[in-house]
Structure formats: C-alpha cells, structure tokens
A and B are shown apart, each in its own frame.
Chain A
Amino acid sequence: MIMIAPVRPPETGACRVGRRWRQARGFVAATLLNQPQAPTGPPIAAWKAWAFVGWLVLVTAVFGVSMLR
C-alpha cells in the first residue's frame, strides 16, 4: 500500500501574517520575559514584599528630591 503524504495547501496571506505574528511574539517573549527557571524557594508573603517596595519607593523619592535641591 502506498502512503501518500497529505497535500498541504499553499499558504494564504492570512496564514503568513499569523505565522509571522507568532514568531514575533515568541521573539519578544524570549527577549523580555523571564526564562523558565528552577524553583527559587518558598514565596515571600505579599505584605512583606509590598512593604519592601514601599520602602524602596520612599527612599528613592526622598533621594531624588534631595539631589534636586
């Protein structure tokens, strides 16, 4: 029995755009987003994390104002 490979229809304009769009998204994801990582440890509580962020913002703001003086 002879197996015949399925016929692949020619790529239409919409398919080409969709393929390029998928390639672009993959490129952006690889460049800007975090790589899949090994587990980094237990997560930190949200309130502790936001307290740290608040301190960081406060210090940066005060420093910025002092430098502009």
Chain B
Amino acid sequence: MNELTIPDVQLIDNSSQRLPLILVLDGSGSMSGSPIAELNRGLKLLEEELKADPVARLRVQLLVLRLGGHDNVEVVADWTDAMNFTAPTIEANGNTPLGKAVRLALSKLEDQKQNYKVAGIPYNRPWLYMITDGEPNDTAWEEAAKECRAAIDSKKLAAFAIMTGGARLEPLRQFTDTVLKLEGIKFRELFVWLSRSASVASKTRQGESVQVTVPQNVLTIPT
C-alpha cells in the first residue's frame, strides 16, 4: 500500500455523538439474596466493559434508576459518560413501582435531549432497559406503559424488558414488544452482552441500523 499522506494535517475529533442508555433496575424485596448480588456484579462488569472500549467510553451515557422501597424510585447514577461511570450498588427491599420508574426515565430523557440540543451534541436513538423479577404494582403503571409505547412507536426510544425470576410477561408486553427472559440469574452475562451491544450502537452512523444478536444461553424469547 502506498503510504504517501499529506503532512502536518491535524484532525479534530468532532464525533461527539452520544448513545443515551437508561437502566431501570428492580430493587424490590424479591430480588434480595443471590439475584441482587449477581445484578450488582453484572453492573460492575458493564462499567469495566464500557470503559475498556475506546469509542463506547466516550459516547455511551448512562442513567441508572432503582425502583423499590415504598413506591420509591431513585436516581442511583445520573447522566454520566461511560468513562466516568461508577457502578452503583442496588439494594433490594419493598415493592415494584415500574410505571413510576419508567415515567421518570422518560422525563429525564427528554431533559437530557434538550441539553444535547443546546450543546449541539448529536445522539443516537436512546436505549431503555427495564430489568425486573416481578410485575408493576404501582397505580397508573398502565399509563406509563402507554407513554413508553408511544415513544417507541415514534422512534424516539428503543426499549427492552428483561424478565427474571417470577416476572410475568403480559404486563411487560404493555411497555414494549421486546421482552426477553434471563436464564437463571445470569446478570453478569446479561450486562456483558448489553455493553457490547451498546458499543456497536454507539458507532452507528446515519441510516444504519443495529443488529442485536441475543445470546441464547443467556436470554430467550418468552412465550
């Protein structure tokens, strides 16, 4: 190959686009013990995998919400670039206000999009992952599910529900068509897959779609 290049050319890295990645994590009482321990180990792996990827660490931006307690939703990690992300420790107690958590996620996403627009930062279609071993039991969760659906249908969001333990399919289907069942408590494998999918998606340019291959020994399509 001819190595002749133009000398003294300096490149400006303007590829500052972001992939917003939102995790809505079930911290209800039924997750206590091994499930929550494995979930926390998985979060730590997610942090390590994203930081190790030279592009994803700059582009993936995370928001992590925990749901549990008495109808409680807390922001355990506010919008952070992957390179600065420290995996939070999720506690398990209380019930499953999934509707409230998704509504907060959608609200914070809209606020962040405004920040991107003001700063002139382009962004990929955001990803929302809901991970739960139960079913929503807060009031008006169905309205939140409709809002999530509307965002998906208008291509403002890609949403995935990961069910584990005793989670029921039908309530989660109201949020999104993309519902996957986690094999056992393979949270570590789940988050490794998630980080690699996000890494690929963060490099997506215009007109390109992302093909996400589901590892069948980790996730299955429930029926």
Q: Do chains A and B stick together as partners?
A: no
Q: Write the residues of chain A forming the contact surface with B, with a CB cutoff of 8 angstroms.
A: none
Q: Write the residues of chain B forming the contact surface with A, with a CB cutoff of 8 angstroms.
A: none
